[in-house]
Chains A and B, each alone.
Chain A
Amino acid sequence: MSGPRGPRPRRVLSRGNVFVYGTLMLVSVYYLLPLWVMVMTSLKGLPEIRMGNIFAPPVEVTFQPWVKAWAEACTGINCDGLSRGFWNSVRILIPSLVLSIAVASVNGYALSSWRFRGSETFFVILIVGAFIPYQVLLYPVVILLRSLGLYGSIWGLVLVHTIFGMPILTLLFRNYFASLPEDLFKAARVDGAGFWGIYLKIILPVSLPIFAVAAIIQVTGIWNDFFFGVVFARPETYPMTVQLNNIVNSVQGVKEYNVNMAATLLTGLLPLAVYFASGKLFMRGITAGAVKV
C-alpha cells in the first residue's frame, strides 16, 4: 500500500507553533521579570542594591530582609513586622469565608429550588447590589458599624466582607444549583427530605466544585482587600495589606528596598499558593461572572 496511511504526521516545529510559543514565552518573560527582580532584591543586602543592576542575582544571599519584614519592621509605634497583620488577616479571612459561603449558598439554593413569590425580584435587587460603588456606602457603613459597636474590630470587617461578597456569591451558587437536574430535587422531596435535608444531603455534596470556586474567590478577594481594611480597621486590627502599605510607604529613615520586596512577597504568598494549588478552579472563579443567568 502506498500513499498516506494512518494518522497524519504532525510537525513540532511548524511556523505556527514557533509563532505561538515564541509569543507565549515573550509575554511570560514580560510578566515574570518583576517577580524575578523582587525575589532577587529581597535576597540582597542594601549595599549591593545601591550598586544598581536590579536584574543580577545576589552575590551574597541574605535572608535578613525576610526576617525583618516578618518580625521587626516598624509601622507607627509597633515594631513586630508583618506577622501582626498576617494573623489579623487570617482572623478576618476565616470567619468571613465560612459565613459568606454558608449564607450565599443557602441564598442561591432557596432562589433556584424553592422559588417563592417575589424571589426573582429579590434576586434582581441582590444583583443590583453588586453594581453600587463601595465608595457610596462607605460612610453609612461606618455609622452602622459604630452603632453596632463593631467599628474597628475584626468582626466589623468580617461583617463587611460577608455582606459585600453576597451578590456575586449568590449569583454563582444560584446559577450552579439551577444547572443541577430538577428531578434530583423532586426525587429528594418524594423521599421525604425537607429544605435543609435536601440542601445538606443532596445539593451540597454534589456541588463541591462550586464551593471550591467560591472559596477561591473569597480567599483571594478578602486577602487582597486593602480598601475595607484601611477604612474599617484600627492600627491594631489592620490586615496584612494595610500594614504592608504602611511599611513600604513609610517616609522616615532609609528606604529598605530588600525589606519592602520581602514584605510584598510575603503578603502575596497566600493568593499565589491558592492559585498554584487550584489552577483550573481558579479560572472558573475568574470567569464566574460570565456564567449564564
Chain B
Amino acid sequence: MALDSGAAHLDAAFVSVRDLTHSFGTVEVLKGLDIEVRNGEFLVLLGPSGCGKSTLLNCIAGLIEITDGQIWIGGRNVTWEEPKDRGIGMVFQSYALYPHMTVHGNLSFGLKNQRMPEDQIAARVVRVARILQIEPLLDRKPGALSGGQRQRVAIGRALVRDADVFLFDEPLSNLDAKLRAELRVELKRLHAGLGNTMIYVTHDQIEAMTLADRIAVMRDGVIQQLATPLELYDRPANLFVAGFVGSPSMSMLDGRIAGGRFHVGGQSLALDGYEGRAPGTLGAAILGLRPEHIAVAPAGVEGLSAVVELCEPMGADKLLWTDVEGRKVSVRVPVETSHPRGSRVTLAPAMGKASLFDAGTEARL
C-alpha cells in the first residue's frame, strides 16, 4: 500500500511530535520538543553526539518511554502504542540483523509475527529483494555478508513491513567513505521511488545536506533550526548552526559593528548588501564567512588584508588558510592561482552571503 502511495498529501503533517520531553534520571534529554514532518518528506535530524537526536528517533519509534508529550503518526495518537503498531520501519546503525537467520529469515521475521500467509510473505520478500538488489543473498546468513550488503538487508527489513514512516538511526556510519557515498545516493533514489516519509538521524552534515528535504539541527535536546538544506547553509539561525553545517566550516571573525561597518582589529568592512537587519551600531558581533563567499581581490579593492598561512589543494579547487588580525579565515580559490606562504592578499567577502551574529545571544542579525 504505502510502497506506491506517492506524495499524496504532501502538506499534511504526517509525523507530529508535540511538546515531547524525555528525562533520563534527572537529566532532561529532550525539552518540550515540537516538530512536524510532512507526508513524503525526508527529514534529517542533525547534530553532534549527545544532542538527543537518536533519543528523539527512539521516542518516535516507541522504543524509549517518554516523560511527557505526544507522538502522532498518520493522524493517529500513537503515544501509548507498541512500536509494531505505529506503522514504522527502522534501520539501525549496527544493522541489528538477526545473526542466526538467513537474509530471507531476517526479512520475513516481522511479517511472520503479523501472522501473514506464507505466499504473501514470499511475494513481499522477493519484491524488496529486487528493489535492493539482494536477491542472490537471500539464503546467506548476515555473517557471510559485507558491511554494505548487511545495511541493504537492514533497509530491506524496514521496507518489507510496508511501513508508512521509515526511521533511520545513523545507518551509514559504520561503512567506509566510498560505500557511504554509494548508499547515500541509493537511499535518495529509494526515497524518490517510494515517496514514504523518512526520518533520518546523522551527525554527518554532508549526508544531511544531500539527502534532506528539510534538516533539523539539534543541540542539547533543542532544535536550533528547522529548514531546507540551502536555507540552513546560507542563513544559519545562530552561531551553532553556522559552525556545524558546512565543510570546510565557516570562518568566524569576532569584532564590533559601528557606523554601518564591521570592525575587526584595525580593519573594517562596509556592511552594504547584508540582507539581514544589521544594526547601525552593536558592541560585539561575529561575522561568519563561508570559504566560497570570499574572493581574493586585486590590489586597490576594498577588503580585509590577510597573510597566507597554508594552501590545501582539494582537487577541484584549493583552500587558502589565511590570517586576518589573528583570526583564521579560509578561502576557496581556483587551482590555477598561486599564493605563496607569507604573502599578503586582500580578501573581498560577498556581504550578501555573509552571516552576522550577535556575540551575546549568538543569534543571527
Chain A residues, CB < 8 A from B246: none
Interface flag for B114 (CB, 8 Å): yes
Interface flag for A281 (CB, 8 Å): no
When A186-B90, A187-B90, A192-B110 are in contact, do A206 and B100 touch as well, CB less than 8 Å? yes
Chain A residues, CB < 8 A from B99: 206
State in angstroms the CA–CA spacing of A99 and B304 once bound together. Answer: 80
Q: Which of B81-89, B190-198, B247-255 contacts A (4 or more CB under 8 A)?
A: B81-89
> Main secondary structure on chain A at its contact with chain B?
helix
Interface flag for B113 (CB, 8 Å): yes
Chain B residues, CB < 8 A from A189: 63, 82-84
Interface size in chain B (residues, C-beta < 8 A): 24
Interface flag for A125 (CB, 8 Å): no
B113 engages A192 (CB within 8 Å): yes
Interface flag for B228 (CB, 8 Å): no
B84 engages A192 (CB within 8 Å): yes
B61 engages A184 (CB within 8 Å): no
Interface flag for A4 (CB, 8 Å): no
Tell me the residues in window 32-76 of chain A with beta carbons closer than 8 Å to chain B beta carbons.
none
B94 engages A190 (CB within 8 Å): no
A188: min CB distance to chain B, Å: 8
Interface flag for A22 (CB, 8 Å): no
Chain B residues, CB < 8 A from A3: none
B325: min CB distance to chain A, Å: 49
A183 engages B93 (CB within 8 Å): yes
Q: Which A-chain residue is minimally distant from B91 (CB atoms)?
A: A187
State in angstroms the CA–CA spacing of A191 and B100 once bound together. Answer: 16
Q: Which of A12-20, A197-205, A243-251, A272-280 contacts B (4 or more CB under 8 A)?
A: A197-205
A183 engages B96 (CB within 8 Å): yes
**Which of A183, A184, A197, A206 lies in contact with B113, CB distance below 8 A?**
A197
Chain A residues, CB < 8 A from B82: 189
Chain A residues, CB < 8 A from B114: 192
B98 engages A190 (CB within 8 Å): no
State in angstroms the CA–CA spacing of A197 and B109 once bound together. Answer: 11
A190 engages B113 (CB within 8 Å): no
When A190-B61, A193-B113, A206-B99 are in contact, do A181 and B83 touch as well, CB less than 8 Å? no
B109 engages A186 (CB within 8 Å): no
State in angstroms the CA–CA spacing of A205 and B161 once bound together. Answer: 23
State in angstroms the CA–CA spacing of A88 and B94 once bound together. Answer: 49
Interface flag for B92 (CB, 8 Å): yes
State in angstroms the CA–CA spacing of A181 and B96 once bound together. Answer: 7
B113: min CB distance to chain A, Å: 4
Interface flag for B104 (CB, 8 Å): no
State in angstroms the CA–CA spacing of A187 and B150 once bound together. Answer: 14
Chain A residues, CB < 8 A from B98: 184, 187-188, 202, 206
B100 engages A190 (CB within 8 Å): no
Tell me the residues in window 100-116 of chain B with beta carbons closer than 8 Å to chain A beta carbons.
100, 109-110, 113-114
A191 engages B157 (CB within 8 Å): yes
Q: Which A-chain residue is minimally distant from B85 (CB atoms)?
A: A192
State in angstroms the CA–CA spacing of A190 and B85 once bound together. Answer: 8
Tell me the residues in window 193-218 of chain A with beta carbons closer than 8 Å to chain B beta carbons.
193, 197, 201-202, 205-206
B140: min CB distance to chain A, Å: 17
State in angstroms the CA–CA spacing of A102 and B99 once bound together. Answer: 22
Chain A residues, CB < 8 A from B63: 186, 189-190
Residues of B within 8 A of A (CB): 58, 61, 63, 82-84, 88-90, 92-100, 109-110, 113-114, 157, 161
Extra 7 A-B pairs, beta carbons < 8 Å, given A186-B90, A189-B82, A202-B98? A181-B96, A183-B93, A187-B96, A190-B83, A190-B90, A190-B110, A192-B84
List 15 A-B residue pairs with CB atoms under 8 Å apart, sorted by A's residue number: A181-B96, A184-B96, A186-B61, A186-B96, A187-B90, A187-B92, A188-B98, A188-B109, A189-B82, A190-B63, A190-B110, A190-B161, A191-B109, A191-B110, A201-B109
The 3 A-B residue pairs with the shortest CB-CB distance, nearest first, are: A192-B84, A191-B110, A183-B96
